[in-house]
Structure 1
């Protein structure tokens, strides 16, 4: 029997933290209102996010939106919003999403001050962040105190198994999506039953406009899929974790302080290379898509040279690390070039092109498709990457840092490297594998 109350006591903010959050939030809203009055700015401060909805976990942050009248020009709204943000957070830094905003701290509490336009139910949004105001109102109207604790349980569970967070680092479940799941299905265990019993795309709302792995329409914006950020891998991980928990419930599924097990490195009879590149100073939502492009470029190069890639892992620390595992340690001496089918208009062009080039065999047919074999200099994975990565775009910022790429061979590594820990880790589902037995 799971003691959910003990779990909640462990991860729900205590009275001291709640009082601190209340004091800071009251200061922020009062001060922001004073600034708006003093500068004749037609805007109102509105607390949003998990604290405002009462679904926050301990050690949380505060989100203050400055909601402007809708007749402001967007650039003016952004400029005034930043001005208010800097007044509230003198040491804050500007960050960028759809709108620039100010992020800082007061007494150890992280605070974001975000400008937006006022929005009522039924109105069209002017910018994407506007509907956040309605999200807060909607959740508070639909959830009582007990249901908000069910949201907290779901958040802790998802954090534990590595799928919480809609940002590019995770491509998982947002806090708002967790809240909507509890609103829709009533409690934490019912949500897990949903994930454990469904197959294929999870279409909670069957809307043909969206082709994402999971679809749940935003009740305040019928043109938005709240689950659009959830990747197929995150959905699959949540399904496996839900099955494991329901099969063998354990409070270990809610342990956010669990120390990761250090796996044993071992020779798999494969070629493992770690490619690292300098890390630019960017927000996660800007950086991680470029990291994934870097990994994809490495995998495509391995496929292009028939190196048979079989595994990969990424890690971000002082540098960006991408591990690529291939079956082969060196490329083939023969490279097969795949041509068009014989019945296509460009088949003769393919033949003419290769008749004037050096080749070891062909053009020849296999079935109805043309092929040509060429003799190639045999290369190691690192030689392939360093001589060909320039052909691929790996993102606006990382493209400028290609000359900083370094390569480490698995067989030469001494000590521990976190990307190797990730690759060899047996914690495929947050260290919960052993609990499924």
Structure 2
């Protein structure tokens, strides 16, 4: 199948039907009516608006995530917005049924009506995007920009690029993924007009990457880099030029997108979009366990946390864990984190070996350096087999290791890596990954995560050489 033929097939599967539009917009009207009723009852003037990909008309069939913004007067204080404005949103949510409180820069409410999940967000009704007071205040300006900038054909190109990024695992700017946000995808299409052009550019990317979305000069990039020193890709927000739309993209996500772009252009396939491939069975995954050292570390948090908080802390624990193991000479091949975004958190580690020799060889200084030699002898004498001088006139020692088993160090040294605030006082469970444990994790909804970790090679990567 040709590239254009593949994209035509994909677009037919991801473009919402007229019935979906009617259903989703009907849910929005229900939510808006409930909010407006509460606003009238309290005599508050505010504007209820639809934002995000549904408002931009770049959403995918089956994706029922809705953003509803309640825009309060600019004359209000931030404290009024967070207290009074938020309370009105909660009162409206109570009328709609089941809801949960969520927190970002300030609190918002998530409700579920039928199969639509909607975030109801209090914000300011700002007249100038350069005068925003909270991070979400620029969202209505994003909606206005995308509506004006994208044609119907370009909106379909956004859909294709979103689906492509989802298929290779780099869609979403949240801490869990550290990839491209929906708005970043829209700005990329606004800049390059089509998905194919974006992929052609991405296939040549090497960090740091600069995407001129607003026509700037070199002096601008200098200040932009200074504001975002850790970014690997820079793309100014057309609405707020000193904001980097791609600030959250990690080196890994950028590399995956660049490689997948090259491979797709060379050998297009539906698998890049996550189509025509159902993934491995649990039995296929279990067969790849033999002769490997894979360890699972599990935590059960005491409370439910906002997703970005738990993912951020969990990744910090994982990074510290890897450093601890490497400090004791364990070679960590790969590591990964996962959470059900409730209370359960897990880390997988693969090492080249789960155990080390009982004794470690230490190479010391030349004996001509007396003070260092004296210190080396004092440290190692009596700690193992012994200390000796080699043919080059340098000291050597064969001493006992403190830890020789990975399970032992992870169990006894948990205080050394459970460093994040909500993990600090929890004793983790440490176990070797087995077929039984895989079955247990699958029951928690983690089969895809385990499969990707154990099998390593994503299905789309096979297309790079076939």
Same fold (TM over 0.5): yes
Judged with a 3 Å threshold, the aligned counterparts in structure 2 of structure 1 residues 420 and 251 are, in CA distance, closer, same or farther, namely closer
**Secondary structure of residue in 2 paired with 1:223:** coil
Q: 1:10 aligns with which of 9, 13, 35?
A: 13
- Counterparts of 1:110 and 1:322 in 2: how far apart (Å)? 29
Map of 2:425 onto structure 1? 400
1:52-86, Cα deviation, whole Å (9 max, x unpaired): 11111123222111112222121221122322322
- Counterparts of 1:21 and 1:421 in 2: how far apart (Å)? 34
Deviation at 1:320, TM superposition (A): 2.5
Deviation at 1:332, TM superposition (A): 4.5
1:388-431, Cα deviation, whole Å (9 max, x unpaired): 12123442222232x24232254986868535422222542xx2
1:9-88 to structure 2, matched below 5 A, reads 9-59=12-62, 60-88=64-92
Name the stretch that deviates more: 168-177 or 413-422: 413-422
- Counterparts of 1:236 and 1:105 in 2: how far apart (Å)? 36
Name the stretch that deviates more: 3-12 or 286-295: 3-12
- Counterparts of 2:74 and 2:55 in 1: how far apart (Å)? 23
Deviation at 1:16, TM superposition (A): 1.1
Q: 1:326 aligns with which of 338, 351, 370?
A: 351
Judged with a 3 Å threshold, the aligned counterparts in structure 2 of structure 1 residues 24 and 198 are, in CA distance, closer, same or farther, namely same
- The count of aligned residue pairs is 426
- Counterparts of 2:91 and 2:276 in 1: how far apart (Å)? 37
Q: Is the 8 A contact 1:314 1:321 kept in 2?
A: yes
Judged with a 3 Å threshold, the aligned counterparts in structure 2 of structure 1 residues 385 and 25 are, in CA distance, closer, same or farther, namely same
Name the stretch that deviates more: 216-225 or 167-176: 216-225
Deviation at 1:169, TM superposition (A): 1.3
Map of 1:367 onto structure 2? none
1:111-150 to structure 2, matched below 5 A, reads 111-150=118-157
Map of 2:158 onto structure 1? 151
Judged with a 3 Å threshold, the aligned counterparts in structure 2 of structure 1 residues 267 and 138 are, in CA distance, closer, same or farther, namely closer
Deviation at 1:331, TM superposition (A): 3.6
Deviation at 1:155, TM superposition (A): 0.6
Q: 1:219 aligns with which of 219, 222, 238?
A: 238
In the alignment, does 2:129 pair up with 1:107? no
Judged with a 3 Å threshold, the aligned counterparts in structure 2 of structure 1 residues 252 and 334 are, in CA distance, closer, same or farther, namely closer
Q: 2:225 aligns with which of 173, 186, 208?
A: 208
1:208-255, Cα deviation, whole Å (9 max, x unpaired): 222311111111122211101111111111111111110012233234
In the alignment, does 2:288 pair up with 1:281? no
Unpaired stretches in structure 1, ≥5 consecutive residues: 341-346, 365-369
- Counterparts of 1:266 and 1:253 in 2: how far apart (Å)? 24
- Counterparts of 1:57 and 1:298 in 2: how far apart (Å)? 38
Q: 1:312 aligns with which of 335, 344, 350?
A: 335
- Counterparts of 2:363 and 2:171 in 1: how far apart (Å)? 42
Judged with a 3 Å threshold, the aligned counterparts in structure 2 of structure 1 residues 354 and 97 are, in CA distance, closer, same or farther, namely farther
Deviation at 1:140, TM superposition (A): 0.8
Judged with a 3 Å threshold, the aligned counterparts in structure 2 of structure 1 residues 286 and 162 are, in CA distance, closer, same or farther, namely same
RMSD: 3.3
Q: TM-score, normalised by structure 2?
A: 0.81
Map of 2:392 onto structure 1? none
Q: 2:462 aligns with which of 405, 426, 434?
A: 434
Map of 1:343 onto structure 2? none
Judged with a 3 Å threshold, the aligned counterparts in structure 2 of structure 1 residues 415 and 392 are, in CA distance, closer, same or farther, namely closer
Q: Is the 8 A contact 1:89 1:105 kept in 2?
A: no
Q: TM-score, normalised by structure 1?
A: 0.86
**Secondary structure of residue in 2 paired with 1:198:** coil
Map of 2:178 onto structure 1? 171
